[in-house]
Structure 1
Amino acid sequence: MGGIGRPHGLSMSDFFSRYGTEEQCREALFVKRWPNGFVCPRCAGNTYYPRQPKQLMCASCRHITSLTAGTVMHHTQLSLRQWFMAMYLDAESKRGISAVELAAKIGVRYTTAWYVLRRLRLAMSQREEQYLLNGEVDGDDMFVGGVSPRRPGRSTHKVPCLIAVSLDKHSYPKYMRVTPVEGWDQLEVTRRVLDMVDVNATLKTDGMGGFNDLSETGYTHIRTISAHLGEDEYFSPVLHTQIANLKAQIQGTYHRRPSKRHIASYFDEHCFLFNRRHMRVGVMDRLLNACALSMQIRVAESA
């Protein structure tokens, strides 16, 4: 009930058949960037001359643009084949891929692999920010991180987070959003919930005080309060499963507690893969689309 398994994934044989050469990767990226044909970013002209392998010159204004210009793939020395392989390995893995493993798979240094994954997660984050959960939604607070000896409950130094999962008519999970929070006060919790859940949704939570303002904000808010729930139990079985899966991914794949600075990108990666797990076009296609249409933002190279 709600793992990240994707039954219609792209086989490695199919991947190499579609993207096995640099030319195939260039053609695929061109189609993603300009599905209706080339459009010059300066004059909107439709005719171009090929120059260097990744460059196009507009026939009207002579402006030169790159296939990767303005995307998270720009200003790197990696080949498109390496970028596409990184996308494939990340998209088709049930729990994501670590920088150590990616470095070995595509033949780069650890720091380069880490940088590539940061940029892939940036593209995923940009896509996830465009969508809000709606309909029936379960939400809860949680902590993510390693063991904190002698610091139980909300006094822990683990990262505090909010998770929300929309449900279908059979109460199975449809889509998920996760975000770190600065604390549990009502203003912060409400602000973060508004970033994840449509205000017209019916939102079910436990009795945590930070959720108290949700009804006044406009949500149909259902609070479930039970004195019989233990510290590690949840009012929603769906949330219980998804929280366990998320923690298992972070601990099992990355083998350390992510820094608060970067943890939001790990959450967005997890949600991106989960939310597209049943798409017939495949998660690789959606990740390629996200990277092709991404907006480049400077990504810090230091961990």
Structure 2
Amino acid sequence: MARNPIQFQPGLSLPAFLAQYGTEAQCQAALFQHRWPKGFVCPDCGNTTSCRLSRGLYQCHHCHHQTSLTAGTIFHATHLPLTTWFLAIYLLTQRKNGLSALQLSRELGVSYNTAWKLKHKLLQVMLERNQGETLSGRIEIDDAYLGGERSGKRGRGAEHKVPFVAAVQTDEEGHPQRVQLRRVRGFTRTEVHRYAQLAIIPGSQVISDGLGCFRAFDTPLYTHERIITGSGRASAQIPAFNWVNTVLGNVKNAITGTYHAIRGHHVPRYLAEFEYRFNRRYDLKAMIPRLLAVAVRTPPMPYRLLKLAEPYT
């Protein structure tokens, strides 16, 4: 059997990563290039000339405003070396199934709380980057739940479960191209209509099961094919839903296999992590610079905000 070229791509080895980002100076240079690709720009007045002070700050020649390399970014006010941040980015982007905060703390040599905050700040970058992305063409879509208690009622309507929409865009040969995993308030026609307006390009062919909320796609904007699947294992084997069922299985295995439990209001970040990696799986080596480019444009996320529930997408 021929090997999947995407699955067996080399990625970025640890020695190659360390050669590129192994020192603080290398990380600073990379961060500067992503933040100011055409040279320094004062965040206050827009002037492009500056001097660097002994404390590592950049001072604008025009207004004398002082700023650091990390100020106003997701790295804002960090006490960690950039090498630690970059290693965390490497570990979170190059692994297929993610990494728990506990394991991340061991690999980085930091406390659990520090690893948790670092990880969730990077997942926040992925979450915010995903929000503007849309799907088009042929799209398989399904409802799903994640999180909550392990015991008690299961499935639709279970306590503390977080509902989300899973959608997979496929090409003409039926191969998966992109995935969306977006939290919703519930599976109502109004809520799915709101999701569709934000995430599905008009003219797309949407394939769903018989759940009533998906009638939101019964408009001239979409070609909607409803397939009544029933329940049980047989419904998961219908060819029309092959990839959305496969993705949902992989998501739940990756998340439940890596984390013992996740709080409901953090679910969107975990989903965003899977979505971000899946949609950029074609070039593993490029994932680090791509995430850095977004990270320097993501506003600071203090711990008090990390603990709060994320807004609905």
Q: Same fold (TM over 0.5)?
A: yes
Counterpart residue identity of residue 85, structure 1 = L
Which residue number corresponds to residue 263 of structure 2? 259
Change (3 A) 1:231 1:114: farther
The reply to whether residue 245 of structure 1 matches residue 247 of structure 2 is: no
Change (3 A) 1:269 1:152: closer
Give the match's secondary structure for 1:101.
helix
Please point out which of 81, 84, 96 is paired with 1:82.
84
Which residue number corresponds to residue 286 of structure 2? 282
The percent of aligned pairs where both chains have the same amino acid is: 34
Give the match's secondary structure for 1:213.
helix
Q: Which runs of 5+ in 2 are unaligned?
A: 309-313
Which is worse superposed, 96-105 or 51-60? Answer: 51-60
The reply to whether residue 215 of structure 1 matches residue 218 of structure 2 is: yes
Contact 1:2–1:173 under 8 Å retained in 2: no
Contact 2:94–2:284 under 8 Å retained in 1: no
After the TM superposition, list the runs of 4 or more consecutive aligned residues in structure 1 that deviate by more than 6 angstroms. Answer: 1-4
Summarize the alignment of residues 64-103 of structure 1 with structure 2, pairs less than 5 Å apart.
64-103=66-105
Which is worse superposed, 152-161 or 98-107? Answer: 152-161
Which residue number corresponds to residue 27 of structure 1? 29
Paired residues, number: 302
Give the match's secondary structure for 1:203.
strand
Summarize the alignment of residues 107-118 of structure 1 with structure 2, pairs less than 5 Å apart.
107-118=109-120
Which is worse superposed, 130-139 or 291-300? Answer: 291-300
Counterpart residue identity of residue 260, structure 1 = G
Question: Displacement of 1:148 after TM fit?
Answer: 5.1
Contact 2:135–2:200 under 8 Å retained in 1: yes
Which is worse superposed, 192-201 or 17-26? Answer: 192-201
The reply to whether residue 190 of structure 1 matches residue 193 of structure 2 is: yes
Counterpart residue identity of residue 244, structure 2 = L
Counterpart residue identity of residue 277, structure 1 = R
Contact 2:146–2:267 under 8 Å retained in 1: no
Counterpart residue identity of residue 193, structure 1 = A
The reply to whether residue 135 of structure 1 matches residue 140 of structure 2 is: no
Which residue number corresponds to residue 151 of structure 1? 153
Counterpart residue identity of residue 63, structure 2 = C
Which residue number corresponds to residue 164 of structure 1? 167
Q: Which runs of 5+ in 1 are unaligned?
A: none
Change (3 A) 1:152 1:251: closer
Which is worse superposed, 211-220 or 127-136? Answer: 211-220
C-alpha distance in 2, partners of 1:298/1:3?
A: 40
Aligned CA RMSD, in angstroms, stands at 2.5
